[in-house]
């Protein structure tokens, strides 16, 4: 079957510009070998600079939000511990000692002050209780001291509850702002990723260093190891989004593409992994083996054929994409079939025909052909076994027949 060499799609890429810009430099030329991740060009783009600057801004905002959250969380934890110790009635000096390494903020300071006042009120109340029992202090003074104690205890408990609520709310709000900052940073990175397109994976991630001075400068890297097959632009040229900069391919393996015509479907039996033989008429080389990569499932409406793709080793570099070839594929073994040489076939008024030898000379007969290979063609209808056909000179007979028709 007629075939042609093509790039292996799994080892071939058209490297395109992610956005508008100016090429600062081109680092490779056609024919150069490149490694995956190797810089091949430098692009300056305001759009990339804006997107990267947004990432830097969002990273700074996130750092501030994280620090604020840590501060509020530490205060809430410190105040919670303080409230627990106050309610347990620990001595104020012991509480201060245990809280030396903790952050309690303004609320913690207020609670300690109120706790100290409450302790004072308790001591005064107990002292007047003893004196009141002996009659040394009037009952009114005793009641006032007891009221002061109860009031200070109530105020302290209210302050504890308010402090716990306020510090918890502040912590929740700080956490929400931190989460929002994280989302905004992800969105900024996604925006840059969308702008870079397929280049994002080969750029080593989307993080931008705050020490990077030129955020609009993008070093474009090769996404695979291979050879620069073509180069479309030079340094200092302006490019638009999706302009093709390079075609990069690993040509150590190529595809050989052929079409299985409708008349050959039934006779050709080949599947993925089968071996076929590929020859190149333009090169004086023996046929090379290739492995079937895929057999198409859909008929091309234009050609009425099914595509067949085989993978061939090209480690020695003998073959080039676009080179014409012929592919020999396994066919079904058939017995008792009529075969004629390919040279016997002619096109007569749009129908495939052959000339058969008759009593009156030569007579054209319309035939239906089947599988072909090795210079022979299967005749499915139109001939019977034993008929003699013209193999050499069929075209001359066709010309004579057409001239007779004109006369």
Q: What is the pLDDT of residues 175-218, one digit of tens each?
A: 999 999 999 999 998 888 888 876 665 554 455 555 566 788 88
Position with higher pLDDT, 342 vs 120: 342
Mean confidence (pLDDT) of the chain = 85
Nearest to 203 by CA among 189, 188, 223: 223
φ and ψ at 134, to 5 degrees?
A: -90, -5
pLDDT at 327 over 50: yes
pLDDT at 133 over 60: no
pLDDT in the model for residue 210 = 52
pLDDT in the model for residue 92 = 83
pLDDT in the model for residue 157 = 87
φ and ψ at 26, to 5 degrees?
A: -115, 125
161 Cβ neighbours under 8 A, 6+ residues apart: none
Position with higher pLDDT, 149 vs 241: 241
What is the fold of 338-406? Answer: 2.40.420
pLDDT in the model for residue 1 = 83
pLDDT at 142 over 90: no
Burial class (CB in 10 A: 0-12, 13-18, 19+), 139: exposed
The architecture that CATH gives domain 258-328 is: Beta Barrel (2.40)
- Tens of pLDDT along 267-322? 777 888 989 999 998 888 889 999 999 998 888 888 888 899 999 999 998 999 99
pLDDT in the model for residue 5 = 96
Q: How many CB atoms lie within 10 A of CB 181?
A: 21
Task: Return the domain boundaries, the chain.
Answer: 59-188, 258-328, 338-406
Per-residue pLDDT averaged across 73-78, rounded?
Answer: 93
pLDDT in the model for residue 212 = 62
pLDDT in the model for residue 11 = 92
E strand or H helix that includes residue 327: strand 324-328
pLDDT at 88 over 70: yes
Residue located via tokens 């955020």: 215
């Amino acid at each position: 079957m007629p075939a042609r060499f093509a790039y292996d799609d799994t080892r071939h890429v058209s490297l395109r510009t992610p956005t508008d810009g100016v090429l600062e430099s081109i680092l490779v030329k056609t024919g150069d070998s490149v490694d995956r991740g190797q810089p091949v060009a430098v692009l300056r783009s305001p759009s990339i600079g804006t997107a990267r600057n947004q990432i830097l801004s969002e990273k700074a905002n996130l750092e501030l939000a994280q620090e604020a959250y840590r501060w509020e969380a530490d205060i809430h934890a410190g105040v919670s511990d303080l409230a627990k110790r106050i309610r347990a009635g620990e001595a104020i000096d012991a509480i201060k000692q245990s809280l030396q390494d903790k952050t309690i903020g303004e609320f913690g300071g207020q609670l300690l002050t109120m706790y100290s006042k409450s302790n004072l009120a308790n001591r005064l109340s107990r002292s007047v209780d003893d004196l009141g029992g002996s009659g040394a202090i009037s009952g009114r003074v005793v009641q006032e001291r007891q009221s002061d104690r109860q009031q200070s205890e109530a105020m302290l408990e209210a302050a504890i509850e308010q402090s716990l609520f306020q510090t918890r709310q502040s912590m929740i709000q700080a956490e929400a702002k931190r989460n929002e900052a994280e989302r905004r940073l992800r969105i900024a990175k996604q925006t840059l990723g969308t702008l870079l397109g397929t280049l994002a994976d080969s750029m080593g991630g989307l993080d931008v260093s705050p020490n990077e001075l030129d955020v609009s400068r993008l070093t474009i890297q090769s996404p695979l190891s291979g050879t620069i097959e073509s180069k479309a632009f030079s340094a200092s040229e302006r490019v638009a989004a999706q302009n093709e900069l390079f075609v990069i391919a690993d040509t150590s393996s190529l595809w050989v593409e052929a079409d299985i015509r409708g008349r050959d479907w039934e006779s050709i039996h080949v599947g993925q992994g089968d071996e076929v033989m590929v020859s190149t008429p333009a090169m004086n080389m023996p046929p090379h083996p290739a492995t079937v990569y895929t057999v198409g499932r859909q008929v091309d409406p234009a050609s009425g054929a099914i595509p067949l793709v085989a993978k061939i080793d090209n480690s020695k570099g003998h073959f080039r994409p676009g080179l014409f070839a012929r592919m020999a594929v396994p066919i079904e073994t058939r017995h008792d079939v009529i075969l004629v040489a390919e040279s016997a076939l002619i096109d007569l008024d749009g129908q495939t025909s052959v000339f058969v030898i008759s009593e009156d000379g030569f007579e054209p007969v319309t035939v239906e052909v089947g599988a072909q290979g090795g210079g022979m063609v299967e005749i499915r209808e139109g001939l019977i076994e034993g008929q003699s056909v013209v193999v050499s000179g069929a075209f001359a007979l066709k010309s004579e027949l057409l001239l007779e028709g004109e006369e």
